[in-house]
Amino acid sequence: MKAAKRAAALFCAALLLSLVGAVFAADAGSTQDPILSKSYVLKWQDMLLADRAARAGRVGEALVTEGTRNLQMLRGRCGSSGIRIETIPAGGRILLRSGDSATLLSGSGTLRLSGGSLIDVTQGQLLPDAAFPQGHRLIAGSGATALFTAAEPSRVTLTGTAVVSEFKDCSPDQWFGVSVDYAAARSLMAGTGNDLFSPNATLTRAMFVTILGRMAGADAAKFPGVSFSDVQKGSWYAPYVEWAVKNGVTQGVGGGKFAPDTPVTREQMAALIIRYADTAGHALPDGASVRASFRDEGSISDWAFESVDRMRLTGLLNGDDLGNFNPRSGATRAEAATVFMRLDATLNILK
């Protein structure tokens, strides 16, 4: 057993050294890809494939398979997200995850690594929790999660899906941090003023339907009418409520009313999303990975039960730490941002 563990450790060390060797062997980049060169990616792939063919044993196969999978992820992220330069204010934060690359062009700050490893490509070594060396290119390795906090205004070059926090009251390492920045970056949700997002504030029915309509790409100009007596014509949300009516997403709350200023409940949120997915022809996962039923499922309204259950099975909506769904509770802005991010990841609505 000890010999096997020693062999596995030696193999991991050899693989890491060969990765660093590939970095130094790669060209310095190109006009299209100055941060992460194409030859570096290709040599990484060739090395992994060669190792896979040459080495035997379960440990080696597992590591090579993981490396190949990371390569595909890295290529996909670089191809889709491209390279961008972000200006980060003092106290601003960037979340780096597996496959992300970052170079500090100016300024300073600290890095906190909470999983995996960061590779300092410039120095050819692993980087622990430390200051972010200016001018050094870092790549987040497999399973890595690192949070950079700027000590002063800083400029950083990023590739991949690195998330820049826009709001003072949201950090990308909070459970909702990434989804808040995701929703803001795609103009689904905006802040509440003074660089705040107010993640714990509840969302009104008008706000929720507006976000859903934006995600669906609804053209507000095509929905000038008003179907409910309590929806003010010309209001910022009226076209999206009308879009929802015309597309079978909502029928209101009864009595010819929509209740736009009432907080949207968690069960209403589930029903609206499921109706949208069904009427738009989006196929949700079949729920093969069954999740435990909510402890308070008996308090879910009959009209919402099927929608909540489908959201549970697909993982789009989860319960609290006690396993309760809390169907009548108002949905918070953080919860809504998280659901919309999961919905887009599942259905790929925002191309």
pLDDT, tens digit, 9 for 90 and up, residues 252-277: 999 999 999 999 999 999 999 999 99
What's the token pair of residue 6?
Answer: 């020693």
Residue 309 has pLDDT above 80, yes or no: yes
Residue 23 has pLDDT above 60, yes or no: no
32 and 156 inside one domain: no
CA 276 to chain centre: 21
209 and 304 inside one domain: yes
Domain boundary among 81, 102, 133: 81
What's the token pair of residue 289?
Answer: 């990975």
Q: Give strand pairing partners of 83.
A: 159
List the 101-106 sheet strands across, edge first.
Answer: 83-88, 154-159, 101-106, 137-140, 118-120, 125-127
Query: Residues 47, 50, 56, 61: what is their CA dihedral angle, to the nearest 10 degrees?
Result: 50
Higher pLDDT, 239 or 82: 239
Cβ–Cβ contacts within 10 Å for residue 49, how many? Answer: 14
pLDDT given at position 4: 47
Buried b (16+ CB within 10 A) or exposed e, 267-298: bbbbbbbbbbbeeeebebeeeeeeeeebebbe
Q: Could you give the CA distance from residue 148 to residue 270 in angstroms, rounded to a whole number? A: 35
Question: Cα angle at 40 between 121 and 162, to 5 degrees?
Answer: 60
248 and 148 inside one domain: no
231 and 267 inside one domain: yes
Closest by CA to 91, choosing from 130, 147, 139, 135, is: 147
240 and 102 inside one domain: no
Judge whether 258 lies within some domain. yes
pLDDT given at position 181: 79
- Min mean pLDDT across 22-26, 144-148, 209-213, 231-235 is at 22-26
pLDDT band at 333 (very low <50, low <70, confident <90, very high): very high
Judge whether 129 lies within some domain. yes
56 and 198 inside one domain: no
Judge whether 58 lies within some domain. yes
pLDDT band at 64 (very low <50, low <70, confident <90, very high): very low
- Min mean pLDDT across 10-19, 71-80, 288-297, 327-336 is at 71-80
Domain boundary among 153, 173, 193: 173
Q: Give strand pairing partners of 138.
A: 102, 120
Domain boundary among 123, 139, 173: 173
Q: Could you give the CA distance from residue 316 to residue 287 in angstroms, rounded to a whole number? A: 11
166 and 120 inside one domain: yes
Contacts 24+ apart (CB under 8 A), 235-242: 235/206, 235/260, 236/210, 237/206, 237/207, 237/209, 237/210, 239/213, 240/206, 240/209, 240/210, 240/212, 240/213, 240/214, 241/206, 241/209, 241/210
43 and 105 inside one domain: no
**pTM for the model:** 0.61
Q: Could you give the CA distance from residue 337 to residue 188 in angstroms, rounded to a whole number? A: 8
The stretch 144-155 carries a mean pLDDT of: 87
Question: Cα angle at 206 between 261 and 340, to 5 degrees?
Answer: 130
48 and 90 inside one domain: no
103 and 69 inside one domain: no
Give percent above pLDDT 90 in the chain.
39
**What beta strand segments (E) does 48-172 contain?**
83-88, 93-97, 101-106, 109-115, 118-120, 125-127, 130-131, 137-140, 145-150, 154-159, 163-164
Judge whether 179 lies within some domain. no
Positive or negative torsion for Cα 249, 254, 256, 258: negative
| Mean pLDDT for the chain overall | 78
Domain that holds residue 219: 184-347
pLDDT band at 229 (very low <50, low <70, confident <90, very high): very high
The stretch 99-106 carries a mean pLDDT of: 91
pLDDT given at position 78: 35
Query: Residues 25, 29, 35, 40: what is their CA dihedral angle, to the nearest 10 degrees?
Result: -40
161 and 258 inside one domain: no
Which positions ≥6 away from 345 have C-beta within 8 Å? none
Judge whether 339 lies within some domain. yes
Structurally, the chain folds into a number of domains equal to 3
- Number of residues assigned to the chain: 351
Judge whether 306 lies within some domain. yes
Residue 61 has pLDDT above 70, yes or no: no
